[in-house]
Structure 1
Amino acid sequence: MKQLTEFHQKKILILGLAKSGVAAATMMHRLGASVTVNDSKERSENDEASQLEALGIRVVAGGHPLYLLEEIDLLIKNPGIPYQNVLVKEATSRGIPVWTEVELAYRISEAEMIAITGSNGKTTTTTLIVEMLENSKRKPLVAGNIGTVATDVAKVATANDVIVVELSSFQLMGTEAFRPKIAVWLNIFDAHLDYHGTRDDYVAAKAKIMQNLSKDETLVYNADDVTVAEAAKHTDAKLVPFSTKEKLTNGAYLDQGKIYFQEEVIIELNEVVLPGAHNVENMLAAVAAVKLAGGTNKQIQHVLKTFKGVKHRLQFVGEWQNRLIYNDSKATNILATKAALSAFTKPIVLIAGGLDRGNEFDELLPDFSHVEVLVAFGQTREKLVSLGEKAGVTIIEADNVEDATKKALAGSTEGQVILLSPACASWDQYRSFEVRGDAFLETVQRATKIK
């Protein structure tokens, strides 16, 4: 890592004692800063507090007192903490910079970065890039939402490595000088508007991935997404588009069943294992980024011929009694479920439901052409039942994912796809979409003996 001196004896406030907060606090302490960590949870609920205090880092828990901003040079916040937080709002009004730890990771890193953002497909694309870069000249290190906190990766990365980092809009909002070598912008849909307030603000947050790019960096972007393509006009970076609709001699594209990069055939689409039209976009983006980073066709082809998906992201679980079972617990919004439904031509038993954010689900009606059974659970169960009635499909009501999975298996017939794609966040019943997905996987395993 770079031995920075700019933070020596600076007063830094870290807001939030999650993994990113602990990483930022320990790194700033290592760089010679005077660090205070603040968390809304009581001291007794913060296991990490003792660890930090042992290093000489001050911890203030149980609230957000404004006196913590006195003489503060910089505030680094957990990405999930909204900008309406009292300390964040006050810091902004006082002109105190507000970062997320991704900015710190960038500043200390000796390794170049490939950064991926988008409303959907980030994790799949990031994983594809990492696996495609295996055995290349530089070792790929995964960071961000998909892996280890970026600062923890950056502190051990060398110039011979490349950090592949998945970034949310929450993380990107807190960047200032951040400038990846290759930026990948997959798409933009209406999401997280409860956090950002407006679509324009959400797009602006995503666009920060390219705000500092120069002609020495590259933006890989979705030419089929009107918003992304328009935003790409406002960067000085080299532009490398990808498209499933048109030939792009300067980018990655799909043509007559083949994936190309700059007019070179990379692979036949029928050799690819990963299902779904949306995943073709993810693959094109990954191919472009990897070719630009020096990856080989041989490794790219190997990955595309063997990659079955990321856990909880349209993950193929297995076959049971002539039924195909998929776990798409990561589908926490309607658009993600639309993409999942479009991946199949076989009849579907759809398991859906979760946190009620006040929206209806009629937007899914056009995508129900292959859905034969809907198993609804969670807070949104009644709304989904209403959707099922409008679609004219068989409806099964369930209490939770475990109950829904058992009923889906029992209510299915040969030749169907059993798909968990909730279209909702998990927080009404489960701590995260991962916990929800694991509950689905465990229930399937017990009932079918699939391993």
Structure 2
Amino acid sequence: MNKRIIILGAGESGTGAALLAKAKGYDVFVSDFGRINETNKEKLTQAEIPFEEGKHTEDLIFNADKIIKSPGIAPKVEIVQKALAKNIPVIDELEFAFGFTKGKIIAITGTNGKSTTTMLTYHLLKEAGLSVGLGGNIGKSMAGQLVNLDFDWWVLECSSFQIDGFADFKPHIGILLNITPDHLDRYDYKVENYVASKFSLFKNQDKEDYALLYTEDKLINANLSKHRFSSKLFELKFEDIPSEGAYANPSGIIINLNGRKNTFAQDLLTIKGKHNQTNAMASILTAKLAKVKNEKISESLPKFKSIQHRLESVGNIHGIEFVNDSKATNVDAVYYALDAFTKPIIWIVGGVDKGNDYSQLDAVSTNVKAIICLGKDNEKIKEYFKSRCPIIEETQSMQDAVKMGYKLSKDREVVLLSPACASFDLFKNYEDRGNQFRLAFQLLEREIELKKISQSC
């Protein structure tokens, strides 16, 4: 009899895992407590995979040999707790997919910057002509792709939720960019539990593997000695020069590897800010470990386009740059965004507060010229910044926020959407918020152009 696998959650990762399990001969059943979107329903139906939605039927679930759950389902959810009590293994889609690839894994985690680093690493390897796939917490599921093809390399963005579902998963190159308190409701409100989750990315590595860590991050530095690395450790730094690893200075990104120094000029980078230099260090060092030549890296870096909703320039009107950083849903991400600009900033901020401590922004908010609060409850933001910023406006309309930003700004200034908050008060998600920012910019640009035409007639 075929082994039975139950999939909890029929999103991108769950559906991908179901398709791969079916292709490998497992008895598969999918259960989603919410509603399954029509596209995924069609995929499951075509693959003849039975499913249910709007409920979890225990009789159909607890006869499983293994459960693959969506990263969004907390371990404390009743159905998961009952499965664990019955000694049914509960794993992540990436853990399952790992068993079916012959490729080498590059796994990237961190509270912030992992999407940019994942995309830049993928870009450098792809441009170099390597056989490389992209997955994890970004793009298409790894499991779903493995139904039809495998790659020599996989570049995977890994959230802490996904890492928590790893048992045998072993990255050849593991990257930890930074750690700041986030999602603590999943970790008993203990930052040490969240830190342990991030560091466990490296638990299965051996001497043939590599661990890349930004060791000047406070929480990484404070916990480094508590964790044993069987892999070769490379440090990413600014202040000190590692004997092997990467560092950055005004001349560029420098890679120290195998006794050789490789320098990549700063003007090759298309991504802004000190945090993106950390991301670039990690990506370039990874490319070097994958045997990509310096010339190919230097050719590829200027071709990289920033990912959507992360310090994404959507356009320029009369010298005023409009920047979409909707993915910045916590204060730490906003710190990096504000620090990326020396120009005066009109800052659009707000949404569903996640217990933000805005004092963390004191050092970088001095160049904020005006604040536009975009959310249903802006009192916390207004109260903190009322004595720190001369202009504070508020609205619940993205179109109004963009127009306000334009009116408050002038040539060589920046209108920055960097919310520090979740988006669910006014928008479907951070992508919807960012897309509405881009649309509002386009409407404003068109309005100004039509006004110019009418005045010339």
TM-score, normalised to structure 2, is 0.91
Q: Deviations over 1:28-66 (max 9, x none)?
A: 1121211111111257x7663454245332223222233
**Aligned residue number for residue 196 of structure 1:** 187
Q: Deviations over 1:344-370 (max 9, x none)?
A: 111100001111334453332332100
Given that 1:74 and 1:97 are in contact with CA atoms closer than 8 Å, whether structure 2 keeps it comes out as yes
SS, match of residue 287 in structure 2:
helix
**Aligned residue number for residue 16 of structure 1:** 9
Higher mean displacement: 52-61 or 90-99: 52-61
Given that 1:109 and 1:157 are in contact with CA atoms closer than 8 Å, whether structure 2 keeps it comes out as no
**Aligned residue number for residue 239 of structure 1:** 233
Q: Does 1:205 align with 2:197?
A: yes
**Aligned residue number for residue 350 of structure 1:** 347
User: Match for 1:426: what amino acid?
Assistant: S
- Aligned residue among 52, 58, 62 for 1:66: 58
Given that 2:331 and 2:356 are in contact with CA atoms closer than 8 Å, whether structure 1 keeps it comes out as no
Number of residue pairs matched? 442
- Aligned residue among 2, 18, 21 for 1:25: 18
Q: What's the CA shift for 1:320? A: 1.5
**CA–CA distance in 2 between the matches of 1:123 and 1:52?**
28
Q: Percent identity?
A: 33
Q: What's the CA shift for 1:327? A: 0.9
User: Match for 2:294: what amino acid?
Assistant: N
Q: Does 1:443 align with 2:417?
A: no
- Aligned residue among 366, 375, 393 for 1:378: 375
Give the 3 Å change call, closer, same or farther, for CA 81–110 of structure 1 in structure 2.
Answer: same
**Aligned residue number for residue 96 of structure 1:** 88
**1:156-171 map, 5 Å:** 156-158=148-150, 161-171=152-162
- Aligned residue among 303, 317, 320 for 1:320: 317
Q: What's the CA shift for 1:290? A: 0.8
Give the 3 Å change call, closer, same or farther, for CA 64–286 of structure 1 in structure 2.
Answer: same
**1:263-282 map, 5 Å:** 263-282=260-279
Given that 2:370 and 2:389 are in contact with CA atoms closer than 8 Å, whether structure 1 keeps it comes out as no
Give the 3 Å change call, closer, same or farther, for CA 51–149 of structure 1 in structure 2.
Answer: closer
**CA–CA distance in 2 between the matches of 1:52 and 1:308?**
34
SS, match of residue 310 in structure 2:
coil
Unaligned 5+ residue runs, structure 2? 450-457
**CA–CA distance in 2 between the matches of 1:410 and 1:109?**
54
**Aligned residue number for residue 430 of structure 2:** 433
Give the 3 Å change call, closer, same or farther, for CA 397–135 of structure 1 in structure 2.
Answer: closer
Q: Does 1:397 align with 2:394?
A: yes
Given that 2:109 and 2:175 are in contact with CA atoms closer than 8 Å, whether structure 1 keeps it comes out as yes
Q: Deviations over 1:181-239 (max 9, x none)?
A: 11111111101112222212212221221110000111111121243343474120111
**CA–CA distance in 1 between the matches of 2:171 and 2:276?**
24
- Aligned residue among 62, 67, 77 for 1:75: 67
Given that 1:17 and 1:46 are in contact with CA atoms closer than 8 Å, whether structure 2 keeps it comes out as no
Give the 3 Å change call, closer, same or farther, for CA 311–394 of structure 1 in structure 2.
Answer: same
Unaligned 5+ residue runs, structure 1? 1-7
Q: Does 1:248 align with 2:242?
A: yes
TM-score, normalised to structure 1, is 0.92
Given that 1:11 and 1:35 are in contact with CA atoms closer than 8 Å, whether structure 2 keeps it comes out as yes
Given that 2:396 and 2:426 are in contact with CA atoms closer than 8 Å, whether structure 1 keeps it comes out as no
**CA–CA distance in 2 between the matches of 1:405 and 1:370?**
19
**CA–CA distance in 2 between the matches of 1:268 and 1:274?**
13
